[in-house]
Amino acid sequence: MSHSTSMRRVAAISVSALAALALTGPAALACPPEPTLRSETPRDLKIGSAVWGQRDLLDHDRKNGGEFQRILGAEFNSLTPENDMKWAEVHPEPDVYDFSGADAVVAFAKAHRQEVRGHTLLWHSQNPQWVIDAAADWTCEEARDVLEDHVRTVVGRYAGEIYEWDVANEIFQDDWDEGGVRLRTEANPFLKACAEDPVALLGDVFRWAHEADPEAVLFLNDYNAEGINAKTDAYYELAQELLADGAPLHGFGAQGHLSLQYGFDESIQENFERFADLGLKVAVTEADVRMPLGEDGEPDAEQIALQAERYDKMLQACLDVPACTSYTVWGFDDGRSWVPGVFPEGYATIMTEEFEKKPAYHALLESLTEATPGRSPRTPPGLNR
């Protein structure tokens, strides 16, 4: 062996020894990255949050926007546009589509290796004024033409980029006076125009969405749909009818908007299982747990504990049913929650306005950590630091 060769080998050994020593130094002793909901979620489940792209991703002047976006990327592997894909935002005029907010959500998701749930194509609420005005004179054929153009345009734009769509949202009205439920053939302008056969229209909406994006999983979605009750019985019958007619219905979503003023329906897992037995996917799509607050605007210890329990019960039902594909919270911080603007309640999310993690967050994290099988890929470098 030549002297130069010997020196190269010694140098190589020295470099290896230094590298080994480096591993025992401060870097090796540093704490591992703090676990997140995303890092602990099983591979076959998406953990998601709603986000309003126009407000939270494009408005850079909003308070704590940078920290909000960091947490959004670190904690979740799925995003749902809270408002950006609803009619009033995305289709404000008859021949005008505004995809700016929706595009921002999709772009953020791509940059952070997240999936997107589309929300929503057919709903009685948050329709633009032009729809409300025109609907008064629509024939069924005219309503179908408007709806088909919208569905094909919006779904087609994001074909291959959205893994699940809430196609038909809140199409049943709770009829408490009669003790049952009914299709919203009065409040929903499209169902009203086609009231003679609304189920046929629903089937076509699913067909149009499927033709625009054959890979997307297409959902029915509603509130008060967690357990077995009159509304979910109606959805179960509707699902059977749509499937028998060959409609490409793929999933059923329970929103999970709960209030501590009411009890918790323990039949949620059983409800999910019966839809799964039809061959459908299931999901918790819009989870939050609101509560009445005292004069100081703060919850008490019992409310905080009960909130954590209810968030976790919805997650456990999802984890225990293999057909459950996603669990989405409807925003993760109280500063952006829709609840106080609609109900005289609050404290509905899993973090405070200052992004302090509540017991509800930790309950979800613990259950995800204990769940099987496997773990989802770790978050992108730097996002959970």
Catalytic annotation, residues:
170, 286
User: Taking CA 350 as the corner, what is the angle to CA 124 and CA 264, rounded to the nearest 5 degrees?
Assistant: 65
Q: Pick from 363, 371, 383, 377: which is nearest to 321 by CA?
A: 371
Q: Are 96 and 345 in contact (CB under 8 A)?
A: no
Q: Are 122 and 147 in contact (CB under 8 A)?
A: yes
Q: Pick from 75, 65, 78: which is nearest to 40 by CA?
A: 75
Helix 301-319 to helix 268-277 angle, to the nearest 10 degrees?
Answer: 20
What are the tokens at 300? 């008490």
> What DSSP assignment string belongs to 153-185?
HHHHHTTTT-SEEEEEES-EEEETTTTEEEE-T
Beta bridge pairs of residue 81 = 51
Cα dist from 269 to 58, 166, 275, 346, whole Å:
38, 20, 10, 27
Cβ of 196: how many Cβ atoms within 10 Å? Answer: 9
Q: Pick from 177, 101, 89: which is nearest to 128 by CA?
A: 89
Element (H, E) at 325: strand 324-329
